[in-house]
Amino acid sequence: MNKTLLFAFIFIQSFIDAQFSERSLSSEQWQFKNTKDHTWLPAKVPGTVHLDLMQNRIIPDPFKDENEKKVQWIENEDWEYRTVFKVSSQELENRNIDLVFHGLDTFSEIYINGKKVATTDNMFRTWEIPVKTYLKAGDNIVQVKFTSAVQAGKERAKKVPFTMPESPRSFVRKAQYQFGWDWGPRLVTAGIWKDVHLNFWNQARLKQVRIEQKSLTKQKAELNIRAEIIAEKPGDYILNVNHRSQKAALKQGLNVVVLPYRINHPKLWQPNGWGKPDMYELSVILKQGSATVDEHFQKVGLRTVELVQEKDEQGISFYFKVNGNPVYIKGTNWIPADSFSPRITKEKYQKLIRDCKEAHMNMVRVWGGGIYEDDEFYKACDENGILVWQDFMFAGSFYPADELFQKNVEAEVKDQVERLQNHPSLALWCGNNEVDEAIVNWGYQKQFKYSGEDSVQVWKDYRKIFHEVIPNAIKKYAASDKTIYWPSSPSIGWGHKESLTEGDSHYWGVWWGEQPFEVYNEKVGRFMSEYGFQGMPTIETTRSMFSVKPDLSLDNAVIKAHEKHARGWEIINTYMARDYKIPADFIQYNYVSQLLQARGMQVAIEAHRRARPDNMGTLYWQLNDCWPVVSWSSVDYLGNWKALHYQVKRSFENQVILPEEKDDVLNFYVINDELKTFENVSMDFDILTLNGEKKGSARTADTKNLGPNGVLKLDPFSLEEIIGDADRNEIFLHVMLKDAKNHVITERNYFFSKPKDLKLVKPNVRIKNISPTEIEVSTDALAKDVYLMGDTHFSDNFFDLLPHTSKKIMLSKPLEQIQVMTLWDTMH
Ligand code: BMA
């Protein structure tokens, strides 16, 4: 080797050594076994024991047939995972080698070459273990031994002198929905559910980069880039942020370096509906001399989010201001997109969040019974302008507050706040889902015969975790003192009248209380963070419940097993009988159950939106499913839009006409959620018969401006005048909002009676193929609730088609043949 080459080699060598580097161990050949067994079987990391057992054909797919029952034994067993990985002598020369588990589910002991290096007890934490002294050049073995979370929970439960509801789930820091929910199977998993890495580093490493937004105006954004650096070698370093650099004299151990960073004339991150969610790229590089020691890349969105709670005539306001403007929140509740969360793909996250965007949403609530979602979820929210209401993972039970539990929760909050807070989408942290509500309203104390002392303890523990431990941890670890923390969703249970005058509210009088949908018109809170109604999944997803040829009937045991609410079918039938003719045919029943769900949610959403600004947000329960199931979701497990999602898209439009029938008059509200003005708008009204005859028409006398965040309320119409001597079951109203150039901004149909009372005329619906992925649907008489059937995504579906009109529809993939159903078919 000549001299220059040798020099170059040494230079490159030291350059490489100087840098922090990361090596994934997930792609190694992993194995697993029941601790009682001797044979090791191939496993996948990240993954979970159920998936590995399925892969090895030891258990059937729990989502199919009635297999859920057959796999319950798994939760009581202990499981071991292991892999052999090579470490080169060169790698061993690094001064620091850390083994990092980004998620272990849940109670485990970790061994390297037979020596125990750590124990874990929280699925939601990251475990970083210094392992250099345990490693050798050549083959090394890592073993992770999991003990049953159910058994560990039972042990912990023994230490509490009273029975906790749904014990032992609340004793374990693990996704609570795995213990079974009213939409989810019981599948208590174990395993290495997130990536595993080996990190090699020498001088120093960037432990964490926090973006602190000091101020934001039209002229400039003032940021502090705050880097936490662990230095092994003290000395002079340089911190580089997008080519701006600052010297840093680092001491050994943890250092905090803050670099002020200004952006002139910043482009703001705007929520969906208000413009683009602009973001800036930031590269943070730690250097020594000219050598890079560690680097971190980050996108930054500039926006302000405030939660405004002020006393007013109704009580206390509850609304978000984004970038200085009040924003009407439209959105939904998110549950984990699979019972086996490691198999949720990036594409699935992206698709579900795009579904939200397409339906004009601007917020998703990550519900507290699931998981802190994968980075990809928050990335998708950032990119699509979807704000995130983030619950901490506690739901619908009582939680202990012994010292160990407190410490564990604080560490969890730290890990998650540090991981997620740089996302511009993250708007609010909420302590829990329905834990306050469970303690105050669900009567567990009586059910489990608590003494007065026990009840006091429960409330004390509650205060400890949700009013001390969590908010204190947020204060300590959050980038801003403006970080919003809300202790519990809802803040007040739906049985109390204050739930409608302050805080956020879950209204379950409809469904759980079996009140008619119309009650939604009265029960409007300041911010509706939950309300919902079940509908069946699409036929494609229903078929996927079977491992054999599906027998599609309501009595089928498999279909029955895919409804987890004890009275689900009964409640659906009760409501269906109120508004629809209950079909005997399965496909028709499936269709009507979806229409029913959509109808209920339409009533709720529109009542909420009409009540603006007293009400400033509506999040329906729930967006998605974790398996194929009859549930409150609008998008089913396979990603198909149920009738509800199409309806939500219509009801959430940024400009809408919202009718309200009350005391023999018809009111019309016109709403604009955007920040622009529509000048000189007018409204056209047509009264039509169901077979297309025009009975009358009218136009608003003068034009008006529909301002930003604007509401126009028209003078009421007398119902008697509109209907005249016509039969209210034979006519409907078609209303259009037009701009100054007579372009339709939005339109709306209004029916004067329930679907079951409509005297529908048999429509002759025709489908013309325009191209393999585009069709034109036309009709003579009114086609109510046109349902285009087939395994493709239709750009619109479950819509009303006006008499003598047609509509173009795009298909996500071509279909051989498209069948159509309309409401008429279910009545004849
Ligand atoms: C809500 C949620 C869930 C539940 C849903 C439907 O309150 O928080 O716990 O699945 O009700 O019952």
DSSP string, 662-730: ETTEEEEEEEE-SSS-EEEEEEEEEEEETTS-EEEEEE-SS-EEE-TTEEEEPPPEEHHHHHTTS-TTT
Range of the domain at 139: 18-196
Pairing of strands 783-789, 799-801: antiparallel
Q: Give tens-digit pLDDT for 208-256.
A: 999 999 999 999 999 999 999 999 999 999 999 998 999 999 999 999 9
C-alpha closest to that of 367 among 176, 600, 188, 629: 176
DSSP H helices in 385-423 = 403-420
**Exposed/middle/buried for 241, CB within 10 Å: 0-12, 13-18, 19+?**
buried
Q: How many CA atoms lie within 13 A of 353 on its CB side?
A: 28
Would you call 557 helix, strand, or coil by DSSP? helix
Amino acid at position 265, single letter:
H
Query: Which atom of ligand 1 is nearest the CA belonging to 565?
Result: 12
For ligand 1, atom 1, the nearest C-alpha belongs to 530
| pLDDT tops 90 at residue 12 | no
CA atoms of 671 and 610, how far apart (whole Å): 8
For residue 333, tell me if it sits in a domain.
yes
> Tokens 């602190």 sit at which residue?
212
508 Cα–ligand 1 center, Å:
9
Confidence bin at 288 (pLDDT 50/70/90): very high
Pocket test for ligand 1, best of 170, 179, 182 (most atoms within 8 A of CB): 182
Q: How many CA atoms lie within 13 A of 573 on its CB side?
A: 7
CA atoms of 643 and 798, how far apart (whole Å): 6
CA atoms of 671 and 737, how far apart (whole Å): 11
607 and 547 in a common domain: yes
569 and 700 in a common domain: no
For ligand 1, atom 12, the nearest C-alpha belongs to 182
CA atoms of 405 and 697, how far apart (whole Å): 67
For ligand 1, atom 6, the nearest C-alpha belongs to 182
333 Cα–ligand 1 center, Å:
10
Tokens of 640: 């198909």
Pocket test for ligand 1, best of 621, 624, 627, 633 (most atoms within 8 A of CB): 621
Pocket test for ligand 1, best of 170, 335, 367, 434 (most atoms within 8 A of CB): 434
Name all residues whose Cβ lies below 6 A of ligand 1: 181-183, 396, 433-434, 506, 530, 621
Catalytic residue among 373, 434, 502, 563: 434
CB-based contacts of 744-749 (< 8 A; 24+ apart in sequence): 745/655, 745/678, 745/681, 746/653, 746/655, 746/656, 746/657, 747/657, 748/656, 748/657, 748/658, 748/659, 749/800, 749/802
Confidence bin at 291 (pLDDT 50/70/90): very high
pTM of the complete model: 0.96
How far is the CA of 221 from the CAs of 67, 85, 101, 348, in angstroms? 56, 47, 36, 34
492 and 387 in a common domain: yes
The total of structural domains in the chain comes to 5
Query: Which atom of ligand 1 is nearest the CA belonging to 181?
Result: 10
**Mean pLDDT lowest for which of 303-317, 708-722, 780-794?**
708-722
How far is the CA of 496 from the CAs of 433, 460, 467, 506, 509, in angstroms? 17, 22, 22, 11, 11
Quote the Cα angle for 215-221-223, to 5°: 70
Residue-wise burial string across 145-166, b where 16 or more C-beta atoms lie within 10 A, e elsewhere: bbbbbbebbeebbeebebebbb
96 Cα–ligand 1 center, Å:
46
- Contacts (Cβ under 8 Å, ≥6 apart) of 407: none
CA atoms of 205 and 233, how far apart (whole Å): 10
> Tokens 């469904």 sit at which residue?
511
CA atoms of 471 and 473, how far apart (whole Å): 5
For residue 3, tell me if it sits in a domain.
no
Active-site residue, 570 included? no
If one counts every other C-beta atom within 10 angstroms of the C-beta of residue 757, the result is: 13
For residue 484, tell me if it sits in a domain.
yes
Residue-wise burial string across 462-501, b where 16 or more C-beta atoms lie within 10 A, e elsewhere: bebbbeebbbebbeebbbeeebbbbbbbbbbbbeeeebbb
Query: Which atom of ligand 1 is nearest the CA belonging to 433?
Result: 8
**pLDDT value at residue 526:** 98
C-alpha closest to that of 274 among 349, 325, 343, 225: 325
Contact 707, 757 (CB under 8 A): no
When computed from its CA atoms, the radius of gyration of the chain, rounded to whole angstroms, is 29
756 Cα–ligand 1 center, Å:
29
Tokens of 666: 């018809």
512 Cα–ligand 1 center, Å:
10
For ligand 1, atom 9, the nearest C-alpha belongs to 396
Q: Give tens-digit pLDDT for 658-697.
A: 999 998 999 999 999 999 999 999 999 999 999 989 999 9
The average pLDDT across 363-387 equals 98
- Percent over 70 (pLDDT), the chain: 98
CA atoms of 616 and 490, how far apart (whole Å): 15
CA atoms of 146 and 728, how far apart (whole Å): 65
- Counting DSSP H helices and E strands in the chain, the numbers are 18, 45
For residue 646, tell me if it sits in a domain.
yes
110 and 182 in a common domain: yes
DSSP 395: B
For residue 233, tell me if it sits in a domain.
yes
685 and 587 in a common domain: no
| pLDDT tops 50 at residue 720 | yes
393 Cα–ligand 1 center, Å:
14
Q: Give tens-digit pLDDT for 723-759.
A: 888 999 999 999 999 999 999 999 999 999 999 999 9
Contact 715, 683 (CB under 8 A): no
541 and 624 in a common domain: yes
Q: Give tens-digit pLDDT for 82-102.
A: 999 999 999 999 999 999 999
688 and 541 in a common domain: no
Q: What is the DSSP string of 522-549?
A: T---SSEEE----BPPPHHHHHTT-SSS
**Mean pLDDT lowest for which of 70-79, 691-700, 769-778, 798-807?**
691-700
661 and 628 in a common domain: no
**Beta pairing partners, 696:** 687
If one counts every other C-beta atom within 10 angstroms of the C-beta of residue 624, the result is: 24
Indicate the helix (H) or strand (E) that contains 774. strand 774-778
**pLDDT value at residue 10:** 43
Contact 516, 510 (CB under 8 A): yes
- Contacts (Cβ under 8 Å, ≥6 apart) of 721: none
218 and 189 in a common domain: no
Amino acid at position 106, single letter:
T
CA atoms of 795 and 780, how far apart (whole Å): 22
Domain final position from 651, 683, 705: 651
**Mean pLDDT lowest for which of 282-286, 637-641, 690-694?**
690-694
Confidence bin at 18 (pLDDT 50/70/90): low
Q: Give tens-digit pLDDT for 523-539.
A: 999 999 999 999 999 99
For ligand 1, atom 4, the nearest C-alpha belongs to 182
**pLDDT value at residue 9:** 44
Query: Which atom of ligand 1 is nearest the CA belonging to 512?
Result: 12
83 and 29 in a common domain: yes
- 481 or 635, which is more confident? 635
Contact 499, 522 (CB under 8 A): no
Tokens of 212: 């602190």
Sheet holding 766-771, edge to edge: 766-771, 774-778, 806-810
CA atoms of 667 and 217, how far apart (whole Å): 40
| pLDDT tops 70 at residue 798 | yes
Domain final position from 709, 733, 757: 757
Q: Give tens-digit pLDDT for 153-170.
A: 999 999 999 999 989 999
Pairing of strands 329-334, 617-620: parallel
| pLDDT tops 70 at residue 324 | yes
The packing angle between helices 586-610 and 643-651, to 10°, is 20
CATH code of the domain in which 443 resides: 3.20.20.80
> Tokens 């000091």 sit at which residue?
214
For residue 404, tell me if it sits in a domain.
yes
702 and 584 in a common domain: no
How far is the CA of 579 from the CAs of 401, 596, 650, 753, in angstroms? 48, 8, 21, 9
CATH code of the domain in which 269 resides: 2.60.40.10
Domain final position from 300, 325, 342: 300
Indicate the helix (H) or strand (E) that contains 426. strand 426-433
DSSP 253: E
Whether the upstream peptide bond of residue 336 has omega within 30° of 0, thus cis, is no
474 and 614 in a common domain: yes
Query: Which atom of ligand 1 is nearest the CA belonging to 434?
Result: 8
Amino acid at position 342, single letter:
P
For residue 11, tell me if it sits in a domain.
no
821 Cα–ligand 1 center, Å:
32
Amino acid at position 645, single letter:
H
For ligand 1, atom 10, the nearest C-alpha belongs to 182
Confidence bin at 15 (pLDDT 50/70/90): very low
375 Cα–ligand 1 center, Å:
25
For residue 686, tell me if it sits in a domain.
yes
